[in-house]
Amino acid sequence: MRRAHTVEEIRSAEAALMATLPEGALMERASTGLAHLVADLLGACYGRTVRLLVGSGDNGGDALYAGAVLARRGCRVEVRALSSTPHPAGLAALRAAGGRLLGADEPGRRPDLVLDAVVGIGGRPGLRDDAAAALAEVAGVPVVAVDVPSGVGVDTGELPTAAQGTHVTADLTVTFGTHRVCHLVDPAAAACGPVHVVPLGGPGGDLVLAPASVTALQAGDVARLLPRPVGESQKYDRGVVGVRAGSARYPGAGLLCVAGAASGLAGMVRYVGDAEVAATVKAQHPEVVGDGRVQAWAVGSGGDEDARRHLAEARADEVPLVVDADALRHVTDFGGPLASAAVLTPHAGELATMLDVERSAVEAAPLAHVRRAAETFGAVVLLKGRRTLVADRDGDVRAVGTGPAWLATAGAGDVLTGLVGALLASGLAPYDAASVGAWLHGSAARLASAGGPLVAGDVARAIPSAVRALPA
Ligand SMILES: NC(=O)C1=CN([C@@H]2O[C@H](COP(=O)(O)OP(=O)(O)OC[C@H]3O[C@@H](n4cnc5c(N)ncnc54)[C@H](OP(=O)(O)O)[C@@H]3O)[C@@H](O)[C@H]2O)[C@@H](O)CC1
Ligand SMILES: [K+]
Q: How far is the CA of 246 from the centre of ligand 2 (A)?
A: 48
User: Is 385 among the annotated ligand-binding positions?
Assistant: yes
Residue 232: CB atoms within 10 A of its CB come to: 6
CA 392 to chain centre: 15
Same domain assignment for residues 186 and 273: no
Pocket around ligand 1: residues whose beta carbon is below 6 Å from it?
A: 14, 18, 26-27, 30, 55-60, 62, 118-124, 126-128, 131, 146-147, 176
- Pick from 9, 18, 32, 58 the residue to mutate for probing ligand 1's pocket: most ligand atoms within 8 Å of its CB: 58
253 is in an annotated binding site: yes
Q: How far is the CA of 127 from the centre of ligand 1 (A)?
A: 13
- Which residues have C-beta within 8 Å of that of residue 291, sequence separation ≥ 6? 242, 270, 272
**Residue 228 and residue 101 share a domain:** no
Nearest CA to ligand 1 atom 19: 57
Pocket test for ligand 1, best of 12, 26, 56 (most atoms within 8 A of CB): 56
The predicted pLDDT at position 52 comes to 98
Residue of 11, 21, 59, 128 to mutate, ligand 1, most atoms within 8 A of C-beta:
59
| ipTM reported for the complex surpasses 0.85 | yes
Quick one: what percent of the chain has pLDDT higher than 70? 100
- Domain termination residue (choose one: 158, 193, 211): 211
pLDDT at 10: 97
Name the pairing type of β-strands 342-344 and 321-323.
parallel
Residue with the nearest Cα to atom 24 of ligand 1? 123
d(CA 289, CA 189): 43
Ligand 2 centroid to Cα of residue 27, in Å, is 14
Report whether 414 belongs to an annotated binding site.
yes
Residue ranges making up the domain that contains 300 = 219-468
Task: Establish whether 388 is an annotated binding residue.
Answer: yes
Same domain, 262 and 200: no
pLDDT, tens only, 398-426: 999 999 999 999 999 999 999 999 999 99
Q: What is the pLDDT of residue 422?
A: 98
Asked whether residue 108 falls in the same domain as residue 230, the answer is no
Residues of the chain with pLDDT under 50: none
Cα–Cα distance between 426 and 433 in angstroms, integer?
9
Of the residues 142, 176, 211, the one at which a domain ends: 211
> Quick one: 271 and 318 in the same domain?
yes
Are 444 and 355 contained in the same domain?
yes
CB atoms within 10 A of CB 122: 14
Q: How far is the CA of 388 from the centre of ligand 2 (A)?
A: 25
Ligand 2 centroid – CA 59 distance (Å): 6
HSE value, Cβ hemisphere, 13 Å, CA-based, for 386? 9
Amino acid identity of 178? T
Residue 456 CA: distances (Å) to CA of 87, 328, 411, 433: 53, 21, 5, 20
- Residue 386 is labelled as binding a ligand: yes
Number of structural domains found in the chain: 2
Nearest CA to ligand 1 atom 21: 57
Both 343 and 439 in a single domain?
yes
Domain closes at, from 211, 242, 262: 211
Q: Indicate whether 242 and 386 sit together in one domain.
A: yes
Residue 146 CA: which ligand is closest? 2
Give the Cα separation of 215 and 440 in Å (integer): 16
- The predicted structure's pLDDT at residue 56: 97
Take atom 26 of ligand 1 and give the residue whose Cα is closest: 123
Q: Is 90 annotated as a binding residue?
A: no
Instruction: Establish whether 349 is an annotated binding residue.
Output: no
Say if residue 281 is in the same domain as residue 390.
yes
pLDDT of residue 230: 83
Question: How remote is the CA of residue 348 from the centroid of ligand 1, in Å?
Answer: 33
CA angle 395, 399, 401 (to 5 degrees): 170
**Residue whose CB lies within 8 A of the most ligand 1 atoms, among 10, 23, 115, 121, for a mutation test:** 121
Distance in angstroms (rounded) separating the CA atoms of residues 336 and 310: 18
198: CATH: 3.40.50.10260
Q: Does one domain contain both 122 and 177?
A: yes
Same domain assignment for residues 147 and 75? yes
Residues 288 and 432 reside in one and the same domain: yes
* Residues forming a β-bridge with 116: 53, 145
Atom in ligand 1 nearest the alpha carbon of residue 150: 29
Query: What CATH number corresponds to the domain at position 396?
Result: 3.40.1190.20
Ligand 1 atom 20: the closest Cα is on which residue?
Answer: 122
Ligand sitting nearest the alpha carbon of 127: 1
User: Ligand 1: distance of its center to the CA of 206 in Å?
Assistant: 22
Amino acid at 458: D
Cα gap 168→171, rounded to integer Å: 10
Return the ligand number nearest the Cα of 148: 2
DSSP state letters, 165-193: ------SEEEEESSEEHHHHSTTGGGGT-
Q: Which residues surround ligand 2, an ion (CB under 5 A)?
A: 116, 145-146, 150
